Amino acid sequence: MTTLTNPPGPAKTPGPVDVHQELYGARLPSWGPRAVLGGAVVVAAALYVLAGVNVMLAALIVFAISLLLPVWSVVVEGRRKATDRLVTVLVTSSFVLAMFPLFSILYTVITKGTKVLGVDFFTFSMRNVVGEGGGIYHALAGTLLITGAATVISVPIGMFTAIYLVEYADGNRLSRWIRFLVDVMTGIPSIVAGLFAYALFVLFFGEGVRMGIGGSVALSVLMIPVVVRSTEEMLKLVPNELREASYALGVPKWRTVSKVVLPTALAGIVTGITLAIARVIGETAPLLIIAGATDSVNFNLFDGRMASLPVFAYTSVRNPGVPPEFSIDRAWGAALTLLLIVMLLNLIARLVSYYFSPKGER
């Protein structure tokens, strides 16, 4: 019996399969998030220009329109991917919100402070100046001298304290008390440091004492905890193998610390010290209490009042004189100068950290 079968035909070729879609499901087009964000920015900009809405309201409009992206994602991609996109929108919005005050401060200080910047502004003091003219030479010199003296006081004390805590204390009761006191000092208000320095100098020089070195002592109270903490953390990062190798060669402990441990942690220590200087250089309250204010140049830390940039900016706004606009412009110029100094210190800290760090960490 013969069985008839159909002749084999050509094999059917399956159509093109989107492997990515099979694995991950439907996805929004790649231009979707950019389109939503761009549309939100365009709408907010139009309302800002045409309707006169303020910047904060325009930012809220951008945020509200950006929430359409998770809604669109729910329809196309499903709930799980939409949740991911919602969190992305919230995190990005939080970052922009955190950056907004920073850029606002920078914009305000730069636009208002650049009006008075010039050679005369940095080379003249306010002695016998009424109205237009004058500069911040006396305040700039005072800031550098007071902060420099505070650094000379704070760095040795802070570094030796950190070395004791890491290399010698070995977790004893005294080290725990020192760490507790350092933590307490880290959070004290700057006005308390100024009152402490004033009370200390009153014991030796009587009521009404005003000295630049007193401001240095007040700033050192604020600097020492930062130096201790930063140096301690950097010393902890030094591998114990380096210490053990040094001890195995018969090197005494003090020389191991000075020749092995400290050079290894030098980049982080210098960075911490620089950031500690940047943290106290803008303090106003302690210097206003103990260093005082003056319109003349004073290079002697141990005799008389000494001006500083934060106090100069404060007094210029507090007592602007007549007409007030010149004094207020000088205050903005002093604030911009102080901001530039802080930015320069942070840049130096990063450069030191880069060039002195081990080559493998660059």
pLDDT digit string (tens) for 105-153?
A: 888 899 988 888 888 888 888 888 777 888 899 999 999 999 999 999 9
Q: 198 versus 134: which is more confidently predicted? A: 198
Specify the pLDDT at position 158.
Answer: 93
Specify the pLDDT at position 1.
Answer: 46
Specify the pLDDT at position 303.
Answer: 87
Residues 135 and 120: beta-carbon distance below 8 Å: yes
Position 358 confidence tier, pLDDT thresholds 50, 70, 90? low
**pLDDT per residue as tens digits for the range 294-336:** 888 889 889 888 999 999 999 888 888 777 888 898 999 999 9
Specify the pLDDT at position 359.
Answer: 60
Position 19 confidence tier, pLDDT thresholds 50, 70, 90? low
Specify the pLDDT at position 25.
Answer: 63
CA distance 221 to 219: 5
Output the CA–CA distances (angstroms, integers) from residue 154 to 22, 86, 164, 264, in the order listed.
64, 48, 15, 21
**pLDDT per residue as tens digits for the range 266-294:** 888 988 898 889 889 988 889 999 988 88
Specify the pLDDT at position 17.
Answer: 47
Position 215 confidence tier, pLDDT thresholds 50, 70, 90? very high
Q: Which residue has the tokens 């955190």?
A: 98
Specify the pLDDT at position 154.
Answer: 94
Percent of the chain with pLDDT over 70: 91
Residue 74 has pLDDT above 60, yes or no: yes
Nearest-CA neighbor of 186 among 228, 146, 214, 155? 228
Residue 173 has pLDDT above 60, yes or no: yes
Q: What fold, for 123-361?
A: MetI-like fold (1.10.3720)
Residue 11 has pLDDT above 60, yes or no: no
Nearest-CA neighbor of 196 among 223, 226, 217, 224? 217
Residues with Cβ within 8 Å of 117's Cβ and at least 6 positions away in sequence, in order, are 333, 336
Maximum Cα–Cα distance across the chain: 131
Residue 162 has pLDDT above 90, yes or no: yes
Specify the pLDDT at position 5.
Answer: 52
Segment 151-171 shows an average pLDDT of 90
Q: What's phi and psi for 237, nearest 5 deg?
A: -80, -10
Spell out where 166-260 has E strands. none
Segment 92-115 shows an average pLDDT of 88
Model pTM greater than 0.85? no
Question: 30-39, 152-161, 190-199, 208-217: which has the minimum mean pLDDT?
Answer: 30-39
Residue 100 has pLDDT above 50, yes or no: yes
Segment 176-191 shows an average pLDDT of 89
**pLDDT per residue as tens digits for the range 226-258:** 999 999 999 998 888 988 999 998 889 889 998
Q: List where CATH 1.10.3720.10 sits in the chain.
A: 123-361
Segment 185-211 shows an average pLDDT of 89
Specify the pLDDT at position 196.
Answer: 92
Residue 50 has pLDDT above 90, yes or no: no
